Amino acid sequence: MKLLKRIHYFYFIFWILLLFVLFSPLYFIFTKNVRYYGILNRCRALNSFLCTAISGVFFKFEFEKPLDPRQTYIYCANHTSNLDIVLFCLLAKGRFHFMGKEELMKNPILGMFFRTIDIAVSRESKISAFRAFKKAGENLEKGMSLIIFPEGKIDELYPPVLQEFKNGPFRLAIEKNIPIVPVSSINVWELMWDDGFRYGTRPGIGHIYIHEPISTRILGLESAEELKEEVFKKINGKLKNED
């Protein structure tokens, strides 16, 4: 079984690299101007679907309440796998961008996006975090949804356990009056944990539960901690119920 999962991992990586090369001319063009980001994200969605479908990986999205495709959101999800980025390329609509760790700028595939549309942040630098959230706030004002993993990292525990959330996304949601969408990525780690190299990968269906958006319109900054706890409980509660 371990050998088969390792073979599947290299098969998966082959298609990820090949399809990225095929899509890269479009990415090069559409990352040049913010006006094209909607088209860029449709390309990312198609790229994501092709590389996962060819590898036998699919996602089942269950919505507590339908999302408004015209609404700008901040998506907050647990983070256990590099597939989390792929699934959000399929889930999010319109213009959206990710916030992720600074190391992703060196990634041969994701680096292109984190140098343009997406936002990289250093976990160790308060200045970097300030600049990152300032840029995210400006993008939200332009109607670009933000996708963020508030744990700030993929933890070393296996099976994964939801870790404490950072404060930034919740303060930002209140400051900009943007609804937060908690997302529970239930079993994606079983298909690919972290980057997949250590345990390999396998075909299957990843189950994703999208909670009802939480309005921040009437909240003050003093409610950021309470909002953070509410989102944590929603995500963690769903993960535990599924276990």
Q: What is the pLDDT of residues 152-185, one digit of tens each?
A: 888 888 989 999 999 999 999 999 999 999 999 9
CATH number at residue 118: 3.40.1130
- Residues sharing a CB contact under 8 Å with residue 11, sequence separation 6 or more, in sequence order: 55
Q: What is the pLDDT of residues 185-199, one digit of tens each?
A: 999 999 999 989 989
Q: What is the 3-class SS of the chain, one letter each residue?
A: CHHHHHHHHHHHHHHHHHHHHHHHHHHHHHCCCHHHHHHHHHHHHHHHHHHHHHCCEEEEEEECCCCCCCCCCEEEECCCECHHHHHHHHHCCCCEEEEEEHHHHHCCCHHHHHCCCCEEECCCCHHHHHHHHHHHHHHHHCCCEEEECCCCCCCCCCCCCCCCCCCHHHHHHHHCCCCEEEEEECCHHHHECECCCCCCECCEEEEEEECCCECCCCCCHHHHHHHHHHHHHHHHHHHHHHC
Number of domains comprising the chain: 1
Q: What is the value of pTM for the model shown? A: 0.95
User: Domain containing 128: what range?
Assistant: 2-242
The two three-digit tokens of residue 107, written as one number: 């990634």
Q: What is the pLDDT of residues 57-79, one digit of tens each?
A: 999 999 999 999 999 999 999 99
* Mean pLDDT score, 116-121: 95
Q: Give percent of the chain above pLDDT 70.
A: 100
Residue 243 has pLDDT above 80, yes or no: no
Residue 233 has pLDDT above 90, yes or no: yes
Q: Tell me what pLDDT residue 120 has.
A: 95
- Cβ burial of 240 (10 Å; 0-12, 13-18, 19+) is exposed
Tell me which amino acid residue 131 is. R
Token pair 């298909």: residue: 191
* Mean pLDDT score, 83-108: 94
Mean pLDDT of the chain: 95
* Mean pLDDT score, 94-116: 93
